[in-house]
Amino acid sequence: MTHCPIRVRFAPSPTGYLHVGGLRTALYNYLFAKKHGGTFILRIEDTDRDRFVDGALESLVKSLEGMNIVPDEGVFLLDDPHTPARVASRHSETYPGVSEVGSYGPYIQSERLPIYAQYAEQLIASGHAYRCFCSRERLDLLRESEMAAHKASKYDKLCLKLSEDEVANRIAAGEPSVVRLNVPEDRGDIVFHDLVRGDVTIHAGNVDDQILVKTDGYPTYHLASVVDDHLMEVTHVIRGEEWLPSTPKHVLLYEAFGWDTPVFSHLPLLLNPDKSKLSKRQGDVAVEDYLAKGYLPEALINFVALLGWNPGQGSTKEIYTLAELALAFDFAQVNKAGAVFDARKLDWLNAQYIKALPIVELVEKASPFLREKEFFTSAQDNRKTDEYVTRVTEIARERLTTLAEIGDEQRFLFVEPVVDSALLPWKGNSADTTTEALVRAKDILADIPDIDWTRQRLGEILLAEAGEKRGDFLWPLRVALSGAKQSPPPQDIAWVIGKDATLLRIRTSIRLISE
């Protein structure tokens, strides 16, 4: 164990928010590291200057930490209050506020340019790569003709024929060029092992002379990730299935450098309901959107973990903490087929987490959502206290799918309801019967001492008073208190709004029905 510690990395590019697919990839990396006492690295792959999005890196790191997937090594934010104090090994030159931990840095690829240039030169010197001056126009034409001929589109190695002198002259003349991988034509089959898919075989003849360094001097993903994974001593490359077709190129690069290949694990894709690769347009895909809608990080983690993995062995367990996942995780149980992201099951899981949360924590997490609602803002001050919010939360919790919904179906706990007198009588009862029930309720409730004004006692008292015909008694009372066709039981409403408001609402309805 000490001679080969496991090291894995999550390596997003800062082009936007954290995607749920990215979250799952990060999670599996994290779980695998935790399971084996390894190291989880966060590396940033920002080698495309055109796709750079301001603030994306910060958003990515923040989302990850919001999900409690905290890297052991690599990039972190200096000012994030959720980040435990860590000793920075260096600060980013390009991203203010971003710092790093670990001795394999920089962990931001744009800050490693000289390293890639050096390894690219090494590849050229050893004949594993070559300069290419072909114009984009020529490449487009080439691609079109090959596609038309129903062949794989590959570069034709034209520039490989250039003499050293000619290459030197053209570079000296300032002509732009790229560096291409020289795929050996006699290489035969490339076989690599994948923890999810077993042995994968691709014929080298189908592999293109991939561009490794662009005209602007930046490396492409293929070069940068191979060099970094090697230098950072990454043992397991765990990434999405979309990388499977380019893995042979990476294997070729490891061979060209004379390096050992890491173990690969290509995770099944997360899918839209129509089975295409999960994308925006067919629902939310940003982790931050789910958080904003009141999904709990624990529920999202739990849900996403079970998309493509399960503990097997006949387990029927559905609810897992992060620690339990780390304990149970195993690539032998990772599925090969893509998984449809079914938001309804996420809803169910989230509701389960909401129901299981200690009330104090639930209030803490839900009240920010409640406090920004219009009906809350305009409510009386005595309905804005922590104690009141706690009672509301208790009533609402078993009806919540997401935290953001809190109070939506219980506005009458904050605002006086408008009662429709036609709704007051229970199943064809007369106005008199209804009035009698309400008067009886008012008298009973008025006599209840403060100490008995609890959710449980109110329930006992009202149920006892209702006797056999509960509807006659409870329905008008419930409508008087809520104004709604559907609501929590009257004793719960009474408990939350308190005696004064309860009696007031009953009197209002009595007056209403006798008009």
Partner RNA sequence: GGCCCUAUCGUCUAGCGGUUAGGACACCACCCUCUCACGGUGGGGACAGGAGUUCGAUUCUCCUUAGGGUCACCA
- By CB under 7 A, the residues from 369 to 428 that bind RNA are 398-399, 426
Q: Is 342 in the site for RNA (CB under 7 A)?
A: yes
| Part of the chain binding RNA (CB under 7 A), chosen from 118-126, 148-156, 320-328, 361-369 | 148-156
Nearer to RNA, 33 or 213 (CB): 213
Q: Is 478 in the site for RNA (CB under 7 A)?
A: yes
**Distance between CA 237 and CA 225 in Å, rounded?**
10
Among 45, 73, 111, 405, binds RNA (CB under 7 A): 45
Q: Which residue in the list 34, 151, 280, 427 is annotated as catalytic? A: 280
Nearer to RNA, 136 or 161 (CB): 136
- Exposed / middle / buried, residue 291 (Cβ in 10 Å: 0-12, 13-18, 19+): middle
Nearer to RNA, 240 or 384 (CB): 240
Note if 275 is an active site residue. Answer: no
Structure letter (DSSP) for residue 10 = E
Nearer to RNA, 45 or 73 (CB): 45
Site for RNA in 122-141 (CB under 7 A): 134-136, 139
Q: Is 21 in the site for RNA (CB under 7 A)?
A: no
- Exposed / middle / buried, residue 142 (Cβ in 10 Å: 0-12, 13-18, 19+): middle
- The minimum distance between CB 84 and RNA, in angstroms, equals 27
Residue with tokens 């993995």: 309
- Residues paired with 219 in a beta bridge: 213
Whether 155 contacts 263, CB under 8 Å = no
Among 47, 59, 92, 302, binds RNA (CB under 7 A): 47
Exposure string for 240-255, b = 16+ CB within 10 A, e = fewer:
bbeebeebbbbbbbbe
Among 232, 269, 357, 445, binds RNA (CB under 7 A): 269
Interface map 173-212 toward RNA (x if CB under 7 A): ---x-x------------------xx-xxxx--x-x--x-
- Residues paired with 334 in a beta bridge: 309
Q: Is 52 in the site for RNA (CB under 7 A)?
A: no
Backbone dihedral region of 97: left (phi > 0), alpha (psi from -120 to 50 degrees) or beta? left
Q: Which residues contact 344 (CB under 8 A, 6 or more apart)?
A: none
Backbone dihedral region of 498: left (phi > 0), alpha (psi from -120 to 50 degrees) or beta? left
State the number of binding residues for RNA (CB under 7 A). 91
Nearer to RNA, 4 or 136 (CB): 136
Among 91, 280, 355, 511, binds RNA (CB under 7 A): 355
Nearer to RNA, 152 or 360 (CB): 152
**Distance between CA 312 and CA 150 in Å, rounded?**
43
**Distance between CA 56 and CA 15 in Å, rounded?**
6
Site for RNA in 219-248 (CB under 7 A): 220-221, 225, 241-246
Q: List residues with catalytic annotation.
A: 280
